[in-house]
Structure 1
Amino acid sequence: MPMEEENLLGTERNGAKTEEYCLYCYEGGEFKQPDITLQGMVDLCAGYLVQNGMDEADARGLLAETLPLLKRWRQESAS
């Protein structure tokens, strides 16, 4: 997700903000849902986008294109 505001940034163990992950996914140096799969994240996030007025197919397409580019999911697909 675009994190244009500092209050959307996740935090490391020492409380420092990280620009790599948002506060919804990462807090205190740990993922909030460490076992979620890429598909699970698509499913979860699609629901939020639909609630905000996006067509579900468009939301899923956008997420399927963008989430695999993020650091967390690049690591998952490399293993």
Structure 2
Amino acid sequence: MASTNFCQSCSMPIDDPAMAGTEKNGAPSKEYCKYCYQQGAFTTPNMTLDEMRTVVKTEMEKRHIGQEIINLAVNTLPNLKRWRNSNN
């Protein structure tokens, strides 16, 4: 089974190259999705971890994803690269 890469900001799977964000030089990001990262910068640079928790939960609920999976995604956020050293 192939491993899955997850956005290091929102935890969304980014195995599909179309879902990858972009670096300053236009190359696909290996760490962040297109919703979180464009042209080498976060699309919402001042977002807090708590705000990201709300966004992730809301977007997953819109897609009728089960609560267990939503909880897993939200609880994973503090361990991702963007949030690891966050005080939120």
State the TM-score bracket (shorter-chain normalisation). Answer: 0.7 to 0.9
Shift of 1:6: 0.4
Q: Identity percentage over the alignment?
A: 38
- 1:35 maps to which of 39, 46, 59: 46
- 2:81 maps to which of 60, 66, 71: 71
Shift of 1:69: 1.7
TM-score by length of 2: 0.76
Shift of 1:13: 0.6
Unmatched segments (≥5 aa) in structure 2: 1-11
Q: Partner residue of 2:65?
A: 54
What whole-Å deviation, never above 9, does each CA across 1:17-73 have from its counterpart, x for those lacking one? Answer: 1111000000000100000101100101111100111355762x2233211121101
TM-score by length of 1: 0.84
> Over the residues paired in the alignment, what is the CA RMSD in angstroms?
1.7
Structure 2 residue 19 is the aligned partner of structure 1 residue 8: yes
Say which structure is richer in helix. Answer: 1
Shift of 1:76: 2.2
Q: 1 or 2 for the larger relative contact order (CA 8 Å, sep ≥6)?
A: 2
